[in-house]
Structure 1
Amino acid sequence: MLGLLETKREDISKYDIGRIWGNSSVDWEFVESVGAAGGLLLLWDDNVFQKRNCYKGERWLCIEGVLTKNNFQCAYCLVYGAHGRVAKRVVWEELSYIAGLCQIPFCFMGDFNEILQIEDRKGLQSLPGSAEEFKSWVQDMQLVDLPLTDRKFTWFRGQSCSRIDRVLVNIEWVEEFPDIRLKGGPRGLSDHCPLIVEDIRGRGGPRPFRSLDSWFTHEDFLRMVKNEWRTLGEGPFLEKLKALTLPLRQWHKANFSDMENRLTQFEEEIRKLDEKVSEGIYDDTTEARRKALVRFCEKWYIRKEIHWKQMSRSKHARDMDRNTRYFHHIASARRRNNRIDALMIQGRLVRNQARIKHAIRGFYKELYRQEYVPRIGVRDGLLPQIDVVESEALEVLPSAEEIKEAVWDCESSKAPGSDGYNMNFIKKC
């Protein structure tokens, strides 16, 4: 999908599109300019996206359709924001209307001619009123502002710098494409930097082990852990924990890796049974089957909620109602923000993952490198000597009750340790 603003064209021919796109597998829609001002153009590969409807406004262009690869029904809306405060409100109201009309996942992209945060404009001390209204509109629409990964501003003129170009998607879009990234392209002769949305599914390395709270909802989990623990025999506790990660990974893959597919299958089975009932086909077997499917669905809904609540590590998780979508959104945002896609190394922006890993490893090796320092002992007269009673008290091993009290005092589902186990696993196993 390619969106162009300020085309300054009252008409666009197939020849013009061919020069831009480069081949014939293209479809497009445009909003003509008013004289030499404005103009919007959307182009896409018709083998990838199939258009169903198109809606146009003076400052926006929306196409509704389906992405053929994953059968994802969605809408793209190219926006060219107004300059005046009242005119901006009109555009936002029109966008709200068209999003409500389509009722499908939305992607708004373009020049909104407005900022969301103080940091979006160089030298700004407080948000103007129009920016506060824009921020409220984004929140009311429950849109996610995709963060830029490689720059701070997108518009430059003289000494003025702002981020007024952005891509806004709703939560359904993030759920479908959790690994989308937004970066800027070369500005060239324009005042604006082009924005590039990528779907990065590759990982920089093996997935680290992490114990999941949702495992404990499975009736066979604790029995499996006890059996595997016995087979590890005698040995240091930490070594046994490390060895346990392999059977836990295998068990997770067999029982929890296809959570979404299982839910989809159960929901589809329930739908088919509902169709039978609507056609007058109903007996005790149908009712028993439906109740069983509902129980299975409820079980997997709970597991999904627990999983995303843990992944989100939200500070408000205790006080909130069940809201899997909210936790999914927070977890996805954390994953996007924590990923290092590019790193400035010796004044150069590097995107190669191998070089980034090498640089990070070298940095911390140098940071924690032990240098020679004169060692001064406690017997050198700098510290007063403790008495025998205090010495013996320091050497007493903690009791089992004290250890348990310390462990149980820790938050169960927050960040795991370096071994991947959180306190919930230690407490229950």
Structure 2
Amino acid sequence: MSINLRGWGDAAKLRRLSSLLHSGAFDMCLLQETKRSAFTDSMIHGLWGYKEVVWVAKESIGLSGGMLSIWNKDLFSFRFSFTGVGFLGICVEWKNRLLYIVNIYSPCSLAGKRKLWKDLLEFKSNNAIGDWVLGGDSNAISKSGERRGNSGSKSLSERSEFSLFMEAMEVIDTPVLGKKFTWFNSDGSAMSRLDRFLLSEGFIHQGGVSYQWIGDRDISDHCPIWLECSNHNWGPKPFKFNNCWVDHPEFLDLVKKNWAQSDVRGTKTFVISEKMKRLKEALKKWNRDVFGFKDLCIDKTVRELNEVEDLIANGDVYPTDLNSKELVRNFWEQIHSKESLLRQKSRNEVDSRRRF
């Protein structure tokens, strides 16, 4: 998955991002515009949900830029990382082949994009042959239909040069499903497909890539994008759960009670496996009971916002006819309200312990 974050944000935004990552069970994530100068293992573990993870980062300059690439430890064999203006890459061994995965956060200026494209082409020509995955915010379009509501004198030149870059890199812009655009301005009057994955033919074949999906806009004015693969096997999926569960005062007692009451007989391996299955179902039900209403409200707002933007993108309504700004405001109020509730419950639990 790839997404331009528009800033690392506060605890509410990070909790929402973590929830989005867990909902898709993604094996790798490319984040752009983190606006952070430093990261720690504990920050990454908290976001990803467990510790068997590897990451590389490109620090921001002040509050500008910044990139972060995260992946499951057993996904492939890491060899080295490389970086330049507008990109953060890694070279790995995957399926007995070299694979270069590049996190892209392209400069806005055409001169900056030209340098980015030139640097990547030079890197490719000076390194061992391998497959390529370029993912992130390209800040460019390749066709006129990928932008609506704004234009510029350099658009035609930029589209031509971007297409030439893709041809020289020997990467393909695979078919897109989901939404039409990946970026929307605040009132829906302008939109573009700035974010994408560009893949070499070898990776498409080896990974069984069918298409790239543009997901619903959520915590950023950019939509997340991800690859859909028909026959890939990235390794076992670890059990993931929402990080906010451990902050809830009922969580630990629920786990202990469920584990103790699960009467399972058989070999040790079978008993543990069955108990884990029952615990997982109990946690799902508990999550719906405890967090369900808040999450339903948030999901409803996200759904309404994306429906409005789809209507505008399809030309069915004018941006002035629908108020997407109000939906964005409601979304942020709701996730901060949920965060406040979680913090309050946590404080209440600490206070009750102190009384005894």
C-alpha RMSD over aligned residues: 2.0
**Alignment partner for residue 138 of structure 1, among 146, 166, 184?**
166
> SS in structure 1 opposite 2:205?
helix
Q: Give 1:65 deviation, angstroms.
A: 0.7
Q: Give the Cα separation in 1 of the matches to 2:158 and 2:218.
A: 29
Aligned to 2:54: 27
- Unaligned stretches of 5+ in structure 2? 1-27, 233-306, 308-356
**Alignment partner for residue 14 of structure 1, among 32, 41, 66?**
41
Q: TM-score, normalised by structure 1?
A: 0.45
The answer (yes or no) to whether the contact 2:121–2:168 under 8 Å persists in 1 is no
Is 2:108 the counterpart of 1:79? Answer: no
Aligned to 2:123: 98
Q: Give 1:32 deviation, angstroms.
A: 0.2
Q: Give the Cα separation in 1 of the matches to 2:150 and 2:62.
A: 34
Structure 1 segments of 4+ aligned residues over 4 angstroms from their partners: 123-127
Aligned to 2:195: 165
The answer (yes or no) to whether the contact 1:115–1:121 under 8 Å persists in 2 is yes
- Identity over the aligned pairs, expressed in percent? 29
Distance 1:149 1:33, change over 3 A: same
Task: State the Cα deviation string for residues 359-402 of structure 1 (Å, max 9, x = none).
Answer: xxxxxxxxxxxxxxxxxxxxxxxxxxxxxxxxxxxxxxxxxxxx
Aligned to 1:184: 214
Q: Give 1:198 deviation, angstroms.
A: 2.1
The answer (yes or no) to whether the contact 2:56–2:69 under 8 Å persists in 1 is yes
Q: Give the Cα separation in 1 of the matches to 2:96 and 2:168.
A: 28
Q: Give 1:173 deviation, angstroms.
A: 1.4
> SS in structure 1 opposite 2:158?
helix
> SS in structure 2 opposite 1:95?
helix
Greater C-alpha radius of gyration: 1
**Alignment partner for residue 92 of structure 2, among 65, 74, 81?**
65
Task: State the Cα deviation string for residues 144-203 of structure 1 (Å, max 9, x = none).
Answer: 00221112100000310100101001121122134432112231131100111121239x
Q: Give the Cα separation in 2 of the matches to 1:183 and 1:190.
A: 17
Q: Give the Cα separation in 2 of the matches to 1:60 and 1:102.
A: 19
Amino acid of the residue matched to residue 201 of structure 1?
N
Aligned to 1:193: 223
Q: Alignment length, in residue pairs? A: 201
- Unaligned stretches of 5+ in structure 1? 203-346, 348-429
> SS in structure 2 opposite 1:110?
strand
Q: Give the Cα separation in 1 of the matches to 2:80 and 2:114.
A: 25
Which one scores higher on RCO, CA 8 angstroms, separation ≥ 6? 2
> SS in structure 1 opposite 2:61?
coil
Task: State the Cα deviation string for residues 281-302 of structure 1 (Å, max 9, x = none).
Answer: xxxxxxxxxxxxxxxxxxxxxx
Q: Give the Cα separation in 1 of the matches to 2:209 and 2:162.
A: 26
Q: Give 1:124 deviation, angstroms.
A: 7.0
Q: Give the Cα separation in 2 of the matches to 1:103 and 1:149.
A: 30
The answer (yes or no) to whether the contact 2:138–2:195 under 8 Å persists in 1 is yes
Q: Give the Cα separation in 2 of the matches to 1:171 and 1:185.
A: 24
Aligned to 2:30: 3
Amino acid of the residue matched to residue 75 of structure 2?
V
Task: State the Cα deviation string for residues 301-331 of structure 1 (Å, max 9, x = none).
Answer: xxxxxxxxxxxxxxxxxxxxxxxxxxxxxxx
